[in-house]
A and B are shown apart, each in its own frame.
Chain A
Amino acid sequence: MPEAATLPTRKDEAWRYAAVEALTTLPDWREITVEPGDCFNECLIIEDKEGAPATEIQRIRIAIGDGAHCTIFGVIASCDYARVELQVTLGRGAHFEMGGVTVGGRETTREFVTHVIHAEPEATSNQTVRAVHWGQGTGNFLGNIDVVRHAQKTDAAQDFKGLLLEKGASVNAVPQLEIFADDVKCAHGATVGQLDEAAKFYMAARGISPELARRLLVQAFIGDAYVEMADEEARERLMQVALGKLDKHL
């Protein structure tokens, strides 16, 4: 595919905060088609394991048929540079649900990049991304939503929150909405903050140590991304990967 032949640079909008210098090659897009009326669920986990590469990129292109339902939940907790890129096209009345968490310290860059295309009327999409970083770690969320001219009654939402646990860490949020239909609902929000000092003291006053308070607050923070997950066991697994990373390094 010609698109993989030349490597992207930071001038490319979708790679603006990427660790492009770490790239030697780009993987092919993985293509997923969800047939009309079908349901597709997947969990993406990038975690520490033996022999894990320093860079991991997953590119997934999903076509969701009319009335079909697709959920993608993920956690990025490993690699110097890790990126999950989703390109999603929704059919009439389809739904796309996405929840993602990035965690990391050192000099890592971990990012979710989404491009959601409402190509037909009455489809809905919801994306919730949480980023928790420390050290010199960076978390990014670049989220594009396109609503084409005839995709009336679209309901799309996107929500990003970053939590910086130490000075030196950073997050970047780039929400981008292009709406050509006039009868639609599109919501987006992005905030960055630190742990709530008032909550930490309240917890301390009840006997909870600063370390445990931080873990409980981070757990609550990233939990938002997985609220819509029906599979309890899978949610528990994603939470464990994210919190395990925190426990290991802080």
Chain B
Amino acid sequence: MLKIENIHAVIDGKKILNGLTLEVGAGEVHAIMGPNGAGKSTLAYALGGKPGYEVVEGSATFMGEDLFEMEPHERAAKGLFLGFQYPVEIPGVSNVQFLREALNAQRKTRGEEALSGGEFLKLAKEKAALLDLDMEMLKRHVNVGFSGGEKKRAEMVQMGIIDPKFAVLDETDSGLDIDALRVVGDGINAIMRAPDKGVLLITHYQRLLDVVKPDKVSVLAAGRIVATGGPELALRLEEEGYDAVMADA
């Protein structure tokens, strides 16, 4: 689904991604782990198209199309979902309005009919329940006054409503307590575990991978993938640390 080949990315003149190559197939959950400063978030932002994250070399093909040729909102409409490590607060815009506009904008780009207010609310209620988020929260302004955990859960409710083909989740587990982690992990499984979907799961911790069991695990260091393996690689990292695993790579 997503094929990244030899990408180099620069932020503020500083090279962060350094020839990163990675492929995620349909039906696959691919976990990315790596030390601080390795370029994990940069990879997520570069795929999402954040301004200032300049890809100077290499390519990314998403469902057969050149990802970097698309505007950020077009990537979303094509089915790419970026889960933010730090979800952004938007005062004055309610979650319901934001998500309905987002979903209908995507549907419009794909040439589909817009959802009515009633249809949308039914969908939103269903997904909020799945993530154990009070529907009242969705009537509030986007992420404003939400705790860290609520923001991450709201992020997954958004994913449920938008129902993307592919999700890049940037440390969705950070800031979550143990119970919330399970709810979010189960949510990811419910929404994204399907033969025609894929997930790139960026995380620091094994505990999320206990719930969302990855098919593959890669280690990202100094802007490149330095090791790829099965779920056992994550367990080894947890036990031995990055230095030991990377020394073997």
Contacts and interface: CB of A to CB of B under 8 A. Distances in A.
Interface of A: 196-199, 201-210, 212, 216-217, 219-221, 223-224
Given A203-B102, A216-B98, A210 B90 contact: no
Contacts, number: 75
Given A201-B51, A202-B87, A207 B73 contact: yes
Interface in B127-153: none
Contacts of B162: 206-207
Interface in B32-77: 48-51, 71-73, 76-77
A205 B82 contact: yes
Contacts of B158: 206
Given A201-B72, A204-B49, A217 B90 contact: yes
Contacts of B90: 196, 199, 202-203, 217, 220
A197 B162 CA distance: 22
Nearest to B158: A206
Best-buried of B48, B73, B77, B88 by chain A (most CB within 10 Å): B73
B92 A219 contact: yes
A58 B219 CA distance: 67
Best-buried of A198, A201, A206, A217 by chain B (most CB within 10 Å): A206
Interface string B155-178: 000100010000000000000000
Interface residues of B, number: 30
A217 B91 CA distance: 9
A212 B88 contact: no
A198 B84 CA distance: 11
B234 interface: no
Nearest to B77: A207
B92 A206 contact: no
A221 B91 CA distance: 8
Contact of A202 (B84, B91, B99, B101): B84
Given A206-B162, A207-B109, A216-B98, 8 more contacts: A199-B89, A201-B48, A201-B88, A204-B71, A207-B73, A207-B76, A208-B73, A210-B71
Nearest to B109: A207
A203 B99 CA distance: 9
A201 B89 CA distance: 12
A-B residue pairs, 8 tightest by C-beta: A220-B92, A207-B76, A207-B106, A204-B72, A206-B102, A202-B88, A204-B73, A205-B82
A212 B77 CA distance: 14
Contacts of B71: 204, 209-210
A220 B88 CA distance: 15
B105 interface: yes
B93 interface: yes
A197 B90 CA distance: 11
A221 B93 CA distance: 9
B103 interface: yes
A212 B76 contact: no
Contact of B93 (A209, A210, A216, A224): A216
A205 to B, nearest CB: 5
Given A204-B73, A207-B77, A212 B101 contact: yes
Contacts of A216: 93, 97-98, 101
Contact of A224 (B92, B98, B103): B92
A216 B98 CA distance: 8
Contact of A208 (B84, B88, B89, B105): B105
B68 to A, nearest CB: 15
Nearest to B107: A207
Contacts of A220: 90-93
Best-buried of A198, A207, A212, A216 by chain B (most CB within 10 Å): A207
B212 to A, nearest CB: 21
A207 B92 contact: no
Given A207-B162, A208-B101, A199 B88 contact: yes
Contacts of B98: 203, 206, 216
A206 B51 contact: no
B101 to A, nearest CB: 6
Best-buried of B50, B99, B101 by chain A (most CB within 10 Å): B101
9 contacts: A203-B102, A205-B48, A205-B81, A206-B106, A206-B158, A216-B98, A217-B90, A217-B93, A219-B93
